[in-house]
Amino acid sequence: MVLSEYKTALVTGASSGIGAACVRALREKGLDVVALARREDRLAPLAKETGCRIMVQDLMDTAAIYTELPSLNADILVNNAGLGRGYDGFLKSTPDEIDQMVNLNVSAAFHVVRAVAEGMAERKSGHIVQIGSIAALYPIGLPVYGGTKGAIHMFSQHFRIELAGTGVRHTEICPGRIATEFFDSAFKAEKDRDAFLSGYSPLQPSDIAAAVLFAVDTPWHVNVSTIELTPTEQAPGGALIEQARPK
Ligand SMILES: NC(=O)c1ccc[n+]([C@@H]2O[C@H](COP(=O)([O-])OP(=O)(O)OC[C@H]3O[C@@H](n4cnc5c(N)ncnc54)[C@H](OP(=O)(O)O)[C@@H]3O)[C@@H](O)[C@H]2O)c1
Query: Is 20 close to ligand 1, i.e. is its CB under 6 Å away?
Result: no
| Phi/psi of residue 11, nearest 5 degrees | -120, 120
Residue 154 lies in a domain: yes
Number of domains in the chain: 1
SS3 call for 72: helix
Greater confidence (47 vs 190) lies with: 47
Residue 34: DSSP 8-state: E
Q: Examine residue 245 and state whether it is found in any structural domain, yes or no.
A: no
Q: Ligand 1 pocket: which of 23, 46, 52, 80 to mutate (most atoms <8 Å of CB)?
A: 80
Radius of gyration of the chain (CA): 18
Higher pLDDT, 4 or 219: 219
pLDDT tens digits for range 120-178: 999 999 999 999 999 999 999 999 999 999 999 999 999 999 999 999 999 999 999 99
User: Does residue 126 have its Cβ closer than 6 Å to ligand 1?
Assistant: no
CA dist 246 to 5, 89, 177, 243, Å?
A: 64, 22, 35, 8
Q: Is the per-residue pLDDT at 2 higher than 90?
A: no
Evaluate whether residue 35 is within a structural domain.
yes
Secondary structure in 3-state letters for 119-137: HHHHHCCEEEEEECCHHHC
State if residue 40 touches ligand 1 by the CB under 6 angstroms criterion: no
| Distance between Cα 182 and ligand 1 center (Å) | 6
What average pLDDT does this structure show over 40-60? Answer: 98
Whether 247 is covered by a domain: the verdict is no
Indicate whether 76 belongs to any domain: yes
Residue 241 lies inside a defined structural domain of this protein: no
As a whole number of angstroms, the distance between CA 164 and CA 220 comes to: 13
At 244, is the pLDDT very low, low, confident or very high (cuts 50, 70, 90)?
confident
Q: Mean pLDDT throughout 6-30?
A: 98
- Across the chain, what does the average pLDDT equal? 96
> What CATH code is carried by the domain that includes residue 186?
3.40.50.720
Express each pLDDT in 201-228 by its tens digit.
999 999 999 999 999 999 999 999 999 9
* pLDDT score at 1: 66
At 37, which helix (H) or strand (E)? Answer: strand 32-37
Instruction: Name the closest-CA residue to atom 2, ligand 1.
Output: 178
Task: For ligand 1, say whether the CB of 52 is within 6 Å of any of its atoms.
Answer: no
In a domain, 55, yes or no: yes
Domain membership of residue 152 (yes or no) is yes
Decide if pLDDT at 54 tops 90: yes
Cite the active site residues: 145
Residues 6 or more apart in contact with residue 37 via CB below 8 angstroms: 12, 13, 14, 15, 16, 19, 43, 56, 57, 81
Parent domain of 191: 3-229
* Cβ of residue 60 lying under 6 Å from some atom of ligand 1: yes
Ligand 1 atom at minimal distance to the Cα of residue 182: 20
